[in-house]
Amino acid sequence: MAAGAGPRGIGAQPGALKRKLQSPHGNPPEKRQRKPSLNTFRKGATEADRRGKGNPPQQPVPKKQLTDNRNESQKSRPFIKTSSLFKNNPDIPEIHRKAVQQVQENVFTTDSFSQLDLHPHLISTINTVLNISSMTSVQKETIPVLLQGRDALVRSQTGSGKTLAYGIPLVQSLQGMESKIQRSDGPYALVLVPTRELALQSFDTMQKLLKPFTWIVPGVLMGGEKRKSEKARLRKGINILISTPGRLVDHIKSTECIHFRHTRWLIIDEADRILDLGFEKDVAVILNTLNAHRETRQNVLLSATLTEGVTRLADISLNDPVSISIADEIQKVLKPASQKDREASSSSNCTEQENFAVPEKLKQYFVIVPSKLRLVTLAAFILGKCKFEKHHKMIIFFSSCEQVEFYYDLLVKVLAGGPELEQPGHSSPSSVSLQFLRLHGDMEQEERTEVFQEFLKSKTGVLLCTDVAARGLDLPQVTWIVQCNAPASPAEYIHRIGRTARIGCHGNSLLVLAPSEAGYVSLLASHKINVSEMKMEKVLTSLMKDDRFKLHRPGRKKSCGTNPQEVRERATVLQTKFENHVHSSEGTVRWAKKALQSFLCAYTTYPRNLKHIFHIKSLHLGHVAKSFGLRDAPQNLTALPAAGSKKKTKPRPKRSDLLKKTHGKRRLAEILRSEYSSGMDTKVRRKKKRRKPGNQQIPT
Ligand X SMILES: Nc1ncnc2c1ncn2[C@@H]1O[C@H](COP(=O)(O)OP(=O)(O)OP(=O)(O)O)[C@@H](O)[C@H]1O
Residues at the interface with ligand X (CB under 6 A) = 132, 134-136, 139, 158-164, 304, 472, 474, 498, 502-503
User: 40 vs 106, which CB is nearer to ligand X?
Assistant: 106
Distance of CA 569 to the CA centre of its chain: 31
d(Cα 559, Cα 654) in Å, to the nearest integer?
A: 49
Nearer to ligand X, 136 or 598 (CB): 136
Q: How far is the CB of 13 from ligand X (least distance, A)?
A: 42
CB of 487 to ligand X, least distance (A): 15
State which residue, 161 or 218, has the beta carbon closest to ligand X.
Answer: 161
Minimal CA–CA distance to 494: which of 371, 377, 354, 614? 354
- Of 480, 398, 383, 507, nearest to 434 by C-alpha is 383
In angstroms, give the least distance from the CB of 28 to ligand X: 44
Q: How far is the CB of 116 from ligand X (least distance, A)?
A: 12
300/209 Cα distance (integer angstroms): 19
Of the pair 161, 519, the CB lying nearest ligand X is at 161
Whose Cβ is closer to ligand X: residue 160's or residue 618's?
A: 160
Least Å from the CB of residue 263 to ligand X: 22
The smaller minimum CB distance to ligand X, of residues 171 and 368, is found at 171
Q: Are strands 298-303 and 152-155 parallel, antiparallel or unpaired?
A: parallel
Specify the residue, 287 or 503, whose C-beta has the smaller distance to ligand X: 503
Burial class of residue 354 in the structure, from the number of CB atoms within 10 Å of its CB (0-12 exposed, 13-18 middle, 19+ buried): middle
Task: Tell me how far, at minimum, the Cβ of 163 lies from ligand X, in Å.
Answer: 3
CB atoms closer than 10 angstroms to residue 578: 24
Give me the least distance between CB of 279 and ligand X, in Å please: 17
Nearer to ligand X, 163 or 403 (CB): 163
Q: What angle do CA 263, 264, 268 make, to 5 degrees?
A: 90
Q: Which residue, among 264, 273, 274, has the nearest Cα to 296 in the 3D structure?
A: 264
Closest CA to 367 of 380, 357, 355, 354: 380
Residue 442 Cβ vs ligand X, minimum distance, rounded to whole Å: 23
Residue nearer to ligand X on the CB measure, 324 or 601:
324
Starting at the edge strand that comes first in sequence, how are the strands of the sheet with 322-325 ordered? 218-221, 240-243, 189-192, 265-269, 298-303, 152-155, 322-325
Of all helices (H) and strands (E), which one includes residue 314? Answer: helix 311-317
Strand partners, 299: 266
CB of 209 to ligand X, least distance (A): 11
Task: Measure the CA–CA gap between 146 and 258, rounded to whole angstroms.
Answer: 26
Which lies closer to ligand X via its Cβ, residue 472 or residue 644?
472
Q: How far is the CB of 35 from ligand X (least distance, A)?
A: 50
Q: Is the dihedral of CA 643, 472, 153, 219 positive or negative?
A: positive
Shortest separation between residue 627's beta carbon and ligand X, angstroms: 30
Biggest CA pair distance of the chain? 90
| Of residues 159 and 186, the one with the C-beta less far from ligand X | 159
Pick 158 or 627: Cβ nearer ligand X: 158
**Cβ atoms of 174 and 188 closer than 8 Å:** yes
Q: Where are the beta strands (DSSP E) in 189-239?
A: 189-192, 218-221
Give the nearer residue to ligand X in terms of CB position, either 123 or 621: 123
Instruction: Answer whether 4's CB lies under 8 Å from 10's CB.
Output: yes
Separation CA 183–CA 188 (nearest Å): 10
How near is the Cβ of 164 to ligand X at its closest, in Å?
A: 5
Find, among 456, 529, 533, the residue nearest to 494 by Cα: 529
Q: Could you tell me where the DSSP H helices lie in 95-216? A: 120-128, 137-147, 162-175, 196-209
Phi-psi label, residue 161: left if phi above 0, alpha if psi -120 to 50, beta otherwise: left
Q: Nearest approach, Cβ of 424 to ligand X (angstroms)?
A: 45
- Nearer to ligand X among residue 208 and residue 685 (C-beta): 208
Bridge partner list, 463: 395, 437
Of the CA atoms within 13 Å of residue 202, those in its CB half-sphere come to 34
Smallest distance from the beta carbon of 498 to ligand X, in angstroms? Answer: 5
Q: Which is nearer to ligand X, 111 or 447 (CB)?
A: 111
Q: Give the β-pairing of 436-439 and 532-533.
A: unpaired
User: Residue 201 CB, nearest distance to ligand X (Å)?
Assistant: 7
- Separation between Cα atoms, residue 694 and residue 328, nearest integer Å: 51
Q: Crossing angle for the helix pair 564-582 and 38-51, nearest 10 degrees?
A: 50
